[in-house]
């Protein structure tokens, strides 16, 4: 089972929260008299959410390695599918 889709979804959630925090910061600063402590807290919250999201969304490996890994996964899945179709599955005893 691959963890990348769930990790990508989790980091996208962090990114959405970061964008909301940035919008709150901008609205708070533009709206008039802003308390510097609250503005700093909103901005730090934005950074605290944006940093892990951007770190998790960046590719961890080169494009060639990623394509090679995907191709190997596809071949393995096709072999397993062919094995199930021919009746030579793991549950069948010889």
- Per domain, the residue ranges of the chain are 4-86
The pLDDT tens digits for 14-67 are 889 999 999 999 999 999 888 999 999 999 999 999 998 888 877 666 778 878
Note whether 10 and 52 are within 8 A (CB): no
Alpha helices in 1-94 (DSSP H): 4-30, 36-57, 63-86
Residues 62-85 have a mean pLDDT of 85
CA 35 to chain centroid? 34
Q: Given pLDDT bands bounded at 50, 70 and 90, which one contains residue 94?
A: very low
* 8 Å CB contact between 18 and 46: yes
The pLDDT of residue 59 is 66
| pLDDT attached to residue 55 | 84
Number of residues that make up the chain: 94
pLDDT of 91: 54
């Amino acid at each position: 089972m691959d963890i990348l889709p769930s990790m990508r979804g989790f980091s996208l959630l962090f990114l959405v929260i970061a964008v909301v925090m940035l919008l709150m910061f901008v609205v708070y600063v533009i709206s008039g008299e802003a308390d510097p402590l609250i503005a700093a807290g909103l901005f730090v919250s934005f950074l605290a959410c944006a940093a892990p999201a951007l770190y998790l969304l960046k590719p961890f490996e080169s494009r060639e390695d990623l394509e090679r890994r995907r191709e190997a996964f596809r071949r393995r899945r096709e072999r397993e599918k062919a094995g199930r179709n021919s009746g030579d599955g793991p549950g069948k005893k010889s």
